[in-house]
Homo-oligomer: A and B are copies of this chain.
Amino acid sequence: MSYDPNNIFAKILRGEIPCKKVYEDEFALAFNDINPKAPTHVLVIPKGPYVAYDDFITSANAEEIAGFARAVSKVAQSSGVAQTGYRLISNCGVNAHQEVSHYHVHVLGGKALGPMLVK
């Protein structure tokens, strides 16, 4: 699957669509999910054009991968959920109902979360 430069996260990265930004560095942009599933629900996306996890991991170099992973941790810290706990979720492809074809990590917290997975 090739990267669609008109996906909504690409437009957010280009500033064509607004977002509620909570963190940004050279590797990642993080913003509040517009349909939050928990008191804290932040999306963290890499700045490069990666469709999903496998694409990111096989295309990005170690510095980019580590930089993105560190950004996710910084978001957890700055969102105030690092101490109380949080869940990281990445939905990849059809069976996981990935909704936007730009790799992203959900950071969820702010309350005791429900089961990890329900049928």
Contact = CB atoms under 8 A, between A and B. Distances in A.
Interface of A: 37-38, 53-54, 57-58, 61-63, 65-67, 69-70, 72-73, 76-77, 81-98, 106, 108-119
Contact of A89 (B81, B88, B98, B118): B88
Contacts of A69: 57, 65, 69
A1 to B, nearest CB: 10
A73 B86 contact: no
A76 B53 contact: yes
B85 A98 contact: yes
A86 B94 CA distance: 8
Interface centre among A82, A113, A114 (most CB of B within 10 A): A113
